[in-house]
Amino acid sequence: MKKNILVTGGAGYIGSHICLELLEQGYAVTVMDNLANSSEKALRRVEELAGKKLRFYKADIRDRSAYDEIFSQNEIYGVIHMAGLKAVGESVRDPLAYFDNNISGTVVLLEKMKEHHVKRMIFSSSATVYDLTQRECLTEESPIGNSTSPYGRTKLVIEQMLADLYHSDESWSIVLLRYFNPIGAHESGRIGEDPEGEPNNLMPYITQVAVGKREKLSVFGDDYDTPDGTCIRDYIHVMDLADGHSKAVKKFERKGLFVYNLGTGQPQSVLEVIHAFERANNLKINYVIAPRRAGDAPKYYANADKAKVELGWEAERSIEEMCRDSWNWQKNNPEGYR
């Protein structure tokens, strides 16, 4: 029988790509998503691309009765926990919503997993858990804490909660995946990033300028201590990230608490990404230099050697492929899933 993976937040940008990868790798997929910042159309397109069905429950991660329904109707092997609010700026304006949704929602999920004897979880964490003032190249042993936003703090608290849970009961298998900066889309152009309202990330701004939805792109600061003065990040193709999750599911065969960075280790500045996009798609992007944003670290990137050794995973797609696939999605879906 196929192993059934519950993906919370599976209709979102990263979640939909993970669902597709899991289906293609032979897993059964059950999705729980309240569609607050996602679309059910993404899941229908995942099914078309995979030529396979998944099960979808429209429900909030704080809804206890929804878990009883899901766990009683499906033999869930393990959970990939993606659901959560994720806009840094919004988290600064409304921290209580982030603590309630992200932290309280995870507590309810873990209580229900325990009740239904499902003790395997992959948690969608973030490089924001690291103390980014300490160093640029981040390993899993780098200092954590000192997050610059309530969003980052929710990821940190959940990581610590999962560690405490494992130390209290070593029959769990828990994998913390710390993402760097996911961009790109499935090469078909059928699924991709579709932010509601103001994007949180660089690439949707670039593609929205390219498709004519925005007049120009604002680059926040060009006076950082970096070669071209703009912030440097580790951008990773969302399909490489999805592949990392399907490889991490294999860790469920062992009890333990495992932590992995998912990044390329080849950082790019904001201007380098813009120019890579222009080269990959033969387009010109109109941008202006704007004042720095509060809380932006000048430079950080992943050391992902541990994932290569222990998961047999490494990022394969280039920055040009990330840019090409992002544009292919946007030009074919100028209004996203709407």
CA–CA dist 318, 235 (Å, integer):
9
Structure confidence at residue 169 as a pLDDT band (50, 70, 90): very high
Strand 232-233 vs strand 268-269: parallel, antiparallel, or unpaired? antiparallel
Kind plus residue range of the DSSP H or E element containing 48: helix 40-50
pTM of the model: 0.97
CB 332 within 8 A of CB 189: yes
Which pLDDT score, from 0 to 100, does residue 132 have?
87
* 153-to-98, 129, 135, 148, 166 alpha-carbon distances in Å: 9, 7, 19, 8, 20
Give the model confidence (pLDDT) of 123-135 as tens digits: 999 999 999 888 8
Which pLDDT score, from 0 to 100, does residue 52 have?
98
Q: Which residues pair with 290 in a beta bridge?
A: 220
Q: What is the average per-residue pLDDT within 200-228?
A: 95
As a whole number, the mean pLDDT across the chain is: 96
Structure confidence at residue 178 as a pLDDT band (50, 70, 90): very high
In the chain, the percentage of residues whose pLDDT exceeds 70 is 100
Active-site amino acid positions: 151
